[in-house]
Amino acid sequence: MSGGRAIILGRIREALRNNPAPRPHTSHSQSEAAADHNGHAQREWLPKVGQTLPERIDLFAKISEGLTTEFHRVPTITAARELLVKLAAESGWKKIASHSHHDTDALLEGINLPVVRTEKGYAIDDLESCEAGVTGCEVLVAQTGGIMVSVESAGGRALSVLPPHHIVIARTSQMVPDLTAAFEHVKQKYGTKFPSFISFITGPSRTGDIERILVLGAHGPKRLTVILLD
Amino acid sequence: MATQSADFQTLSRRYTADKGFRAFIQKGLSGYYQKRDQNKANFQDWQGARDLAAETKYEAVNHLDKYLLEFEAKITARGAKVFWAQNAEAARDYILKVAKENNVRSIIKSKTMTSEEIHLNDALEKQGFGVFESDLGEYIVQLRKEAPFHLVFPAMHLTRGQISDLFQKELGSEATDEPEKLTMIARDVMRRKYCEADMGISGTNFAVAETGMISITENEGNARLTTSLPKIHVALLGIEKVLPKLEDLSLFLPMLATAGAGQTMTCYNTMYAGPRQPGEPDGPEQMHIVLLDNRRTELLADAEQRDALGCIRCGACLNVCPIFKNVGGYSYGTTYGGPIGSVITPHLRGLKDWKHLSAASSLCGACTEACPVKIDLHHHLLQNRRNGAKASPSPAEKVAFGGFSLMMGNPALYRLAVVFGRIFQPLQNLVNGTILDPLRAWTGSRKFPTLAPQSFHEQWKKERGGKP
Amino acid sequence: MRISLFVPCFVDQLYPNVAWSVVRVLEGLGHEVVFPESQSCCGQPPFNSGYWDEARSAARVTMRAFRDAEVVVGPSGSCVTMIKVFYPDLFKGEPDELEARELAAKTHEFSSFLVNVLGVTDVGAKFDGKVTFHDGCHGLRELGIKSEPRALLANVKGLELIEMCEAETCCGFGGTFAVKYAPISTAMDEVKCASILKTGADTVVSNDSSCLMQIRGMLEQEKSSVRSLHLAEILASK
């Protein structure tokens, strides 16, 4: 059932027929850039990103601090495991959730906690009662200090947003400079067979709805930990 | 005078008289200004970014049919259903139908001003569906049975004390003056709702034609939860929300965050390409896209003001508008307030009844300056005034301005008017500020200047002789 | 240069000293100033209210008055905006569209004329006092005037310029808006005056007399000692 499809399309075409709108008052000639659409025009105007990997990691770390993202750089998977065990002990986790993925499997190897796995489906109440969710990610975005997740890299839609503490394990090779590069990655990896869900996560959940005062952990995770493996 | 215009006068008088309220709103915005400016400064060239955004929206809006069809084809190929709603009723009826056919009992919603526009909650509740607003600000105004105060910050007009009282009354919670505790109360309530709801209704910030995705921008995570757990996802969007390419988001997401909230990026920016795909472990089984016209095509047909359809609903124009800051969101009496609301409401709801919003402006232009997509907002207000005067001129104004022009074109008449003015002024001084004073709209709060004993014209003639 | 003076209608009737100040400054710089007496009003009031036919009638008087002018200078951001920015729109498709565009091209706001056309920032003025500057919205956003008044004030001997927080916030005049929506206009005036008082300045200066009418109106009502003067009056003082 398409409802008013023909009517609306008719209205649109009638509205636009022989009825040009004045072009926007732009001081730079952006019309070529917009029409050309190689997606790179915006790089001229958006915030600068470092040229080298170390610069980008530094930028990511700096922005993370401002966002209250807990960012840890570790040399080995063993060090990552130690960090996770420490977090578990500090926070008193009784049950966590994760999904099957090369890096999460390695991270959770030998962990002494029940783990709800989501990749083959799960009971909502089961996931809801987990204190932490451990996922991989698609890429890390230096420009925004955020990560990009998807169904495949984060075990579905809810794992990275329902448990109150989200832990991400990633590698430095996953660092991309900016959002444009992140979208390029998506296209390269998936072609046109996109997953139904892709999300940029930039810090723990927050709200300013009460007197414009910042509160963390509105509905999504109150804590976001990013563990970056060399 | 139309009721809407009279209502605006009444409400704006009430809100401007409340200095405490005005100061509260101003205080709430001051943090935003600082962070917005910091983030704008981070851009290599904010003005260049605006230009590109304006051009991209120009391309999208002026080829709207092409991009909507591309979007529809791509997202339906992945199993989503697209419904084209001519008007509010068609949109509501479709959503009700989906809810009924699927035996939905409980509905959770994330923030969507489009649903306010079509009065969706009312319609759902009347048919017996439980509807919960998950965005904290929206939840608060829902409990208060109020409309959102601002496009982006629905509850910015309330103090923590008022919110605490509200939660005590409606939820039986303990009194507290800590925003964190209040937020956690709402969080706990909502967690259950996400897990139990049969249907999630969301808005849409952008619809990407190239890849057949919708994009939702938020900070709280409630939209992600609304669209992850319930088995049906309904996404509402105005037809103008479509963007040509996926990469356009790498410009629009940071600009929306900066202009709308003073952030580099909001916390969650999510692209949905359809319902749960084969092999995916979660996500809704059904995804319904409701494309809403509701007279947007009339705005599209007005080539002079078509750029107003490029609006990304960031709220930046509201945040800088001195009228909005002093009268507040409720004075407008319609879904979309502030400068953008004043521009588009005559098109969406009728010029005659809503042209007064375009008159209630000093045309300072701060809105146009702030708009990330360079909509010519304050000039559109002028155009609405011209269109309004043509369609339904005020007889009094027509006579007054006709007389004015006549006088200005006729030196003798002009001199005569000046003479009368000089006679009239001492008389006006006698009744200054009183009920008898015809100038009391001015003199109530400001001293009226005295006419110069001699105009510049007269002085020049005297001092420089007959020479021009 | 032969400069034709454009005197907005309420400068003519309420603040003729502002116009004389412009004359004194320009003549002091060695230019000839002429005043076409047939001018009356640029047409902004009917234009702003949407009565464009009536606005065109008034505007044609202005166009006729300045037909032979070499260059036109006026001490008002809003009235110069009317001519420079809106006459082309107002006369689009009209037989006198070209004339409207020509007048638009040769008309300048006073401070912009001094700095951008004459290349002058020091007119030899002297004014003792703490001054804060209000940016009239039309001048600021339609004509891009921001640095020019400040460059001129910086060279006034004895003058100390203190910026107010809300320099760019509208004072609330807006033409008929000031009476049609008086409570809102008053609220905006309150915000502006509070910002002025916060600077501790003894004088508020602007390049638009309509703004000054609004600001002065409230300052005098509140019996404030803060004076309000037009930029031209400061620049003409010795």
Query: Closest-CA residue in chain B for A68?
Result: B267
By mean pLDDT, which of A138-142, B105-109, B366-370, B402-406 is the weakest? B402-406
Query: What mean pLDDT value characterizes chain A?
Result: 93
Question: Range of A120's domain?
Answer: 50-229
Does residue B187 lie within any of the structural domains? yes
Query: Closest-CA residue in chain B for A23?
Result: B58
Minimal Cβ distance to C50: which of B389, B408, B456: B389
By mean pLDDT, which of B108-122, B389-403, C44-58, C195-209 is the weakest? B389-403
Could B229 and A156 be called an inter-chain contact, meaning their C-beta atoms sit closer than 8 Å? no
Kindly provide the ipTM of the predicted complex, given to two decimals: 0.96
Could B68 and A26 be called an inter-chain contact, meaning their C-beta atoms sit closer than 8 Å? no
Could B85 and A3 be called an inter-chain contact, meaning their C-beta atoms sit closer than 8 Å? yes
Could B300 and A15 be called an inter-chain contact, meaning their C-beta atoms sit closer than 8 Å? yes
Residue of C11, C47, C181, C218 to mutate when probing chain B, most B C-beta within 10 A: C181
Domain-terminating residue out of B236, B269, B294: B294
Query: What mean pLDDT value characterizes chain B?
Result: 94
Could C46 and B385 be called an inter-chain contact, meaning their C-beta atoms sit closer than 8 Å? no
Could B414 and C142 be called an inter-chain contact, meaning their C-beta atoms sit closer than 8 Å? no
List of chain B residues whose C-beta atoms are within 8 Å of the C-beta of residue C14: 449-452
Does residue A64 lie within any of the structural domains? yes
pLDDT value at residue A38: 54
Could you read off the pLDDT of B131-181 as tens digits, one per residue?
999 999 999 999 999 999 998 999 999 999 999 999 999 999 999 999 999
C195 touches B: beta carbon within 8 Å? no
Does residue B56 lie within any of the structural domains? yes
- For residue A205, pLDDT over 80 is answered with yes
Q: How confident is the model at residue B373 (pLDDT cuts 50, 70, 90)?
A: very high
Tokens of B64: 């709207």
Residue of B460, B463, B464 to mutate when probing chain C, most C C-beta within 10 A: B460
List of chain B residues whose C-beta atoms are within 8 Å of the C-beta of residue C169: 322, 364, 366
Residue of B9, B376, B401 to mutate when probing chain C, most C C-beta within 10 A: B401
- For residue B438, pLDDT over 80 is answered with no
Query: Closest-CA residue in chain B for C7?
Result: B456
Tokens of A24: 């926007």
List of chain B residues whose C-beta atoms are within 8 Å of the C-beta of residue A30: 48, 51-52, 54-55
Determine the average pLDDT of the residues in A64-85.
Answer: 96
Q: Which chains reach chain C with 3 or more Cβ–Cβ distances below 8 angstroms?
A: B
State how far the Cα of B258 lies from the Cα of B123, in Å rounded to an integer: 35
- For residue A98, pLDDT over 70 is answered with yes
**Strand positions, DSSP E, B187-261:** 199-202, 206-208, 213-218, 232-238, 242-243
| Beta bridge partners of residue B82, listed in sequence order | B289
My answer on whether B103 and B242 are in the same domain is yes
pLDDT value at residue A28: 53
- For residue A42, pLDDT over 90 is answered with no
The three-class DSSP label of residue B421 is helix
Tokens of B106: 């409980």
pLDDT value at residue B412: 77
Does residue B160 lie within any of the structural domains? yes
Q: Which CATH number fits domain C123-236: 3.90.1200.10, 3.30.70.3340, 3.40.50.11810, 3.30.559.30?
A: 3.40.50.11810
State how far the Cα of C90 lies from the Cα of C101, in Å rounded to an integer: 10
The three-class DSSP label of residue B303 is coil
Could A197 and B272 be called an inter-chain contact, meaning their C-beta atoms sit closer than 8 Å? yes
What is the pTM (predicted TM-score) of this model? 0.95
Could you read off the pLDDT of C15-72 as tens digits, one per residue?
999 999 999 999 999 999 999 999 988 999 999 999 999 999 999 999 999 999 999 9
B452 touches C: beta carbon within 8 Å? yes
Could C54 and B401 be called an inter-chain contact, meaning their C-beta atoms sit closer than 8 Å? yes
Query: Closest-CA residue in chain A for B136?
Result: A209
Could you read off the pLDDT of B29-69 as tens digits, one per residue?
999 999 999 999 999 999 999 999 999 999 999 999 999 99
Torsion of CA C214, C216, C217, C218, to 10 degrees: 90
What is the phi/psi pair of residue C161, to 5°? -95, 125
Could B59 and A34 be called an inter-chain contact, meaning their C-beta atoms sit closer than 8 Å? yes
List of chain B residues whose C-beta atoms are within 8 Å of the C-beta of residue C177: 359-363
Domain-terminating residue out of B294, B328, B347: B294
State how far the Cα of C134 lies from the Cα of C149, in Å rounded to an integer: 10
Minimal Cβ distance to A12: which of B191, B250, B297: B297
Indicate which CATH number applies to the domain containing A86: 3.40.50.10420
Determine the average pLDDT of the residues in A62-82.
Answer: 96
What are the b/e assignments for B68-87, b being 16+ CB within 10 Å? bebbbebbeebbbbbbbbbe
Could you read off the pLDDT of C116-129 as tens digits, one per residue?
999 999 999 999 99
Distance from the Cα of B390 to chain A's closest Cα (Å) equals: 21
List of chain C residues whose C-beta atoms are within 8 Å of the C-beta of residue B397: 49, 51
Does residue B349 lie within any of the structural domains? no
pLDDT value at residue B1: 52
pLDDT value at residue A36: 53
pLDDT value at residue A37: 52
Hey, where are the domains in chain C? 2-116, 123-236
Residue of B7, B374, B386, B405 to mutate when probing chain C, most C C-beta within 10 A: B405
Minimal Cβ distance to C46: which of B360, B365, B405: B405
Among all chains, which residue has been given the structure tokens 């910015």? B156
C14 touches B: beta carbon within 8 Å? yes
Question: Range of B437's domain?
Answer: 407-464
B438 touches C: beta carbon within 8 Å? no
Residue of B181, B219, B233, B371 to mutate when probing chain A, most A C-beta within 10 A: B219
Q: How confident is the model at residue B443 (pLDDT cuts 50, 70, 90)?
A: confident
Percent of chain A with pLDDT over 90: 87
How many interface pairs between B and C have CB atoms less than 8 angstroms apart? 193
Relative orientation angle of helices B136-143 and B179-196, to the nearest 10 degrees: 90
State how far the Cα of B297 lies from the Cα of A7, in Å rounded to an integer: 11
State how far the Cα of B194 lies from the Cα of B184, in Å rounded to an integer: 15
- For residue B468, pLDDT over 70 is answered with no
Please, which residues have CB within 8 angstroms of residue B80's CB and are 6 or more apart in sequence?
B212, B274, B275, B287, B288, B289
Judge whether B282 and B95 are in contact, CB under 8 Å: no
pLDDT value at residue B406: 83
Does residue A32 lie within any of the structural domains? no
Q: How confident is the model at residue A33 (pLDDT cuts 50, 70, 90)?
A: low
Judge whether B257 and B217 are in contact, CB under 8 Å: yes
Number of domains in chain B: 2
Q: How confident is the model at residue B416 (pLDDT cuts 50, 70, 90)?
A: confident
Does residue B337 lie within any of the structural domains? no
State how far the Cα of B314 lies from the Cα of B205, in Å rounded to an integer: 10
Residue of A46, A122, A138, A176 to mutate when probing chain B, most B C-beta within 10 A: A46
C88 touches B: beta carbon within 8 Å? no
Determine the average pLDDT of the residues in B6-19.
Answer: 95
State how far the Cα of C77 lies from the Cα of C144, in Å rounded to an integer: 10
Percent of chain B with pLDDT over 70: 99
Indicate which CATH number applies to the domain containing B213: 3.40.50.10420
Could A2 and B56 be called an inter-chain contact, meaning their C-beta atoms sit closer than 8 Å? no
Determine the average pLDDT of the residues in C189-212.
Answer: 96
pLDDT value at residue B427: 80
Residue B179 has, within 13 A of its CA and on its CB side, a CA count of 19
Number of domains in chain A: 1
Q: How far is Cα of residue B122 from the mean position of the Cα atoms in its chain? A: 21
Please, which residues have CB within 8 angstroms of residue C169's CB and are 6 or more apart in sequence?
B322, B364, B366, C188, C191, C192, C195
Minimal Cβ distance to C184: which of B16, B363, B421: B16
List of chain C residues whose C-beta atoms are within 8 Å of the C-beta of residue B362: 137, 170, 172-175, 177-178, 185, 188
Could you read off the pLDDT of A122-157 as tens digits, one per residue?
999 999 999 999 999 999 999 999 999 999 999 999
Domain-terminating residue out of B276, B294, B312: B294
